[in-house]
Amino acid sequence: MSVLTRDEAQTRAQLLDVHHYTVDLDLTTGDETFESTSTIRFTARAAGDTFVELKPETLHSAVLDGTPLDVTPLDGNRLPLTLTEGEHTLSIATTMRYSHTGEGMHRFTDPTDGESYAFTQLFMEDVQRVFAAFDQPDLKAVFEVSANAPAGWTVLSNARTEQGSDGRWQAAPTPPLSTYFVCVAAGPWHSVRTEHAGLPFGIHCRRSLAPYLDADADEILDVTRACFDRFHEKFDEPYPFDSYDTAFVPEFNAGAMENPGLVTFRDEYVFRSAVTDTERMTRAVIIAHEMAHMWFGDLVTLRWWDDIWLNESFAEYMGYQTVNEACSDRFSDTWIDFGIARKAWGYEADQRPSTHPVAPDPDAVPDTASALLNFDGISYAKGASALRQLVAWMGERDFLAGINIHFKRHKFGNATLADFIDNLAAATERDVHAWAEQWLRTTGVDTLTPRLEGEGRTWRLTIDRDGSRPHRLAVGIYDRDAAGGLVLRDRPQVDVPQSAPLELTGPRPALVVLNDGDLTYAKMRFDDASLETALRSLSKIPDALTRALVWNALRDMVRDGELAPAEYLAVAAAHLADETELAVVQGVLAFARTQIADRYVSEADRPAALATLTAITRDLLRRTEDGDAPGLRLAAVRTLVDSATTPDKIASWLDEGTVHGGPELDPELRWRILARLAVLGATDETAIAAELERDPSATGQEGAARCRAALPTAEAKAAAWTAMFKTDDLSNYLFTATALGFWQPEQADLVREYTTRFYPAALALADRRGPAMAEAAGRHAFPAYAIDAESLALGERHLAEDTMTPALRRKLVDQLDDLHRALKARA
């Protein structure tokens, strides 16, 4: 299949003006394929040759202006067209194949009740798997979608849909959309509908999840309405579509997708087991993120994929900021979770060999295959951090004024980075163009370190910068109080580079925290005295966001080989039991369990690391026995299960169906315990089959696949390997579940032979099954357990010698960089 190049897109955009699509789908023709006809009305500005894209199972016919075309020239995904100047109508009829990898039209049959569902994910190039199109973001058009669906199904789309007397579903015409935004979701949905601001709102899920959606419907709709209202306070342009539906769909690759009028979410966000308040807040932030896209992405769309950050960075920033403003009565400070979780993702991505600017040079994104690689922590978390710094620098009023200028000038059209910066500059006297060059066109993370000089009651604070960006930040100056705690003395605003040292009066501070409030994007270090205070008194810091910032700094120091992993665990053991902020507890436990215990400590030291984590979680359980902090208790139970080195305690919980003192075991906890028992060799296929009979849901199928792959037998590993790499029967979710169970540090001897087999197997899988499965193989099926020089050398040799798809290569580059860091941390 040919990928679209930027040059080809520019040439086609100069030739064509696309007006209207009529898309007719027939979803009644079987479980494997569906029928698709698209009719496109467009204008050729001059006579010339071009092409339309499609990836059919069978191409039945193509008719241009009433004249049938020869379809044999279809070359991969391109059908050539020779056009005269003027108006044209092109109709193409195909049979298309359903996907089981989350791309194109994905079809899923629910194992709970046997009901089937079909939904689209058409991002980047996957519209071609559903209907023929001039597939590039700057050829917007009006879409009218209709579908014939099985009896009992409801069809949702970007605009309001109605079922006609003939049973066919018809959606209203949309405003001009890019092709990748078209969405259809069809099936026997369970729906909760309401109306807000004169528009129909709806939330939808598969029928087997109906009780769980109903339990959370008020919260989901309250968040949706609150964010909708808040965006109308921020933006001059009203919501530009005729309805707002949210569909929670199965086996979805992304977290969510901003299809105008019909946002699709992975249906894990319909919680069927207990979750923490932080996880509920994450769902709220994603709701706000996708809604922000209705303006930034959908109303105004990028012209080419080098500007994907314009979509994602803006929505990421607005998601956290808007929930913080509109839902403060329900959720604590969202920026704490952003700092401890999302921002760390950005820092990690920005220090890898695969790093790129937030706004890459157009030549760095020559085609759609390379564009797909930029959906990472840089385009999301770093870009959002840069925008947060921009707001701190230019002021929120001017920032929003510039955004509203941008919407007004480009609504229902396309825009570039240059347009965006020009529109911001129109609202401020600051030099936004220079800021953009320094922040958006550069790579890497600046590191800021405080230096204190003086004596007595006069001190000078100089901030040393390893990097090149300007920063506006706050400096937290903390003293010890009479009880040995820490109290904020002052939090002055500072520009880096400084024009002069910051003058401090009073005793030498016990702790200096740069970027207090976390308004800029930079790694923070400490002077020697402040580091000692942080290590000994972290839990005494009064502000949760500041504690999160310090924890992030310690995490960075471990990753950079400046702080021993064992010392980080010691700090966690000393302070985490006293931590009150759930997002901090979850973030620290996750890093300690998945990175330190599994990767950063040696094999010999791993039992001690797991023992420390077990002790920390037991302290948290003792602290939460009164039931006042169920989220903390749930986070502790999960980590205790994952850290168990002997089966007795967690096996007794599984047998009794409860943790002593709570919580009762729901399906998520039962599968988590069974997976750990499988790793420890304390369960078998009989027990897994019995648990699957108890929970035959899709999530249960994934849990069983993970448990089976985790069993410590040669037969189990061979069966899992065959399922992942020798057949193509696994869906994207079942592949991931199997991969997550396969590699276990406790089973190094058992799986060592598969380490060398991974690379040729992953290459072949990527070639057969496409970029989504390539990404899954590189992310989840990589032998991350093997932390040794031989594994690093093996991977580097394959990168140097093998031809592989860009999606797989990018994941392997990142995995090998993480491996190199783990070796450095162990040293």
Q: What is the DSSP string of 499-550?
A: SSPEEEESSPPSEEEETTT--S--EE---HHHHHHHHHHGGG-S-HHHHHHH
pTM of the shown model: 0.97
- Find, among 585, 579, 486, 581, the residue nearest to 541 by Cα: 486
Kindly tell me the burial class for residue 693, based on how many C-beta atoms sit within 10 Å of its own C-beta (0-12, 13-18, 19 or more).
exposed
Q: Checking DSSP bridges between strand 511-514 and strand 471-480, what pairing results, if any?
A: antiparallel
The two tokens of residue 59 are: 């191409």
Among candidate residues 258, 290, 316, 775, the one labeled active-site is 290
> pLDDT digits over 744-794, tens only?
999 999 999 999 999 999 999 999 999 999 999 999 999 999 999 999 999
Q: Provide the pLDDT for residue 827.
A: 87
Please report the pLDDT score of residue 1 as a whole number: 65
CA pair distance 619, 523, nearest whole angstrom = 31
Low-confidence ranges of the chain (pLDDT < 70): 1
Q: What is the DSSP string of 613-641?
A: HHHHHHHHHHHTTTSS-HHHHHHHHHHHH
Phi, psi (rounded to 5 degrees) for 657: 75, 15
Structural contact between residues 139 and 10, judged by C-beta atoms closer than 8 angstroms? no
Q: In which order are the strands placed within the sheet that holds 190-196?
A: 190-196, 199-205, 244-249, 262-266, 256-257
DSSP code for 119: E
* Three-class secondary structure assignment of 574-585: HHHHHCCCHHHH
Tell me if residue 229 falls in helix, strand or coil. helix
User: Using CA atoms, how far apart are residues 603 and 595, in angstroms rounded to an integer?
Assistant: 13
Spatial distance between the Cα atoms of 646 and 317, rounded to a whole number of angstroms: 43
Which residues, at least 6 apart from 532, have a Cβ–Cβ distance to it below 8 Å? none
The type of residue at 238 is P
If one counts every other C-beta atom within 10 angstroms of the C-beta of residue 510, the result is 21
The alpha carbon of residue 136 and the mean position of all alpha carbons in its chain are separated, in whole angstroms, by 23
> For residue 180, what is the enclosing H or E element?
none
Closest among 745, 742, 804 to 775, alpha carbons compared: 804
d(CA 78, CA 118) in angstroms, rounded, equals 25
The pLDDT value given to residue 280: 98
pLDDT for position 628: 87
Quick check: 665 and 638 in contact, CB under 8 A? no
Residue 362 has what pLDDT? 87
| Adjacent-strand bridge partners of 319 | none
CA 675, CA 521: separation in Å to the nearest integer? 38
For the chain, which residues make up each domain, given as ranges?
Answer: 1-182, 715-827
Radius of gyration for the alpha carbons in the chain, expressed in angstroms and rounded: 27
Residues 6+ apart with CB under 8 A from 296: 310, 311, 314, 315, 318, 403
User: Whose structure tokens read 């920032």?
Assistant: 399
Q: Count CB neighbours of 184 within 10 A.
A: 27
Structural tokens at position 268:
């894990």
| 290 in active site | yes
Are 389 and 519 in contact, with CB atoms under 8 Å apart? yes
Main-chain phi, psi angles of 410, to 5 degrees: -125, 15
- Give the pLDDT score at 627: 85
Q: Select from 282, 300, 202 the least CA-distant residue to 248.
A: 202
**CB contact set of 5 (below 8 Å; sequence gap of 6+):** 366, 367
Token pair 């009479």 is found at 482
Q: How many CB atoms lie within 10 A of CB 658?
A: 14
Tell me which fold the domain 1-182 belongs to: Immunoglobulin-like (2.60.40)
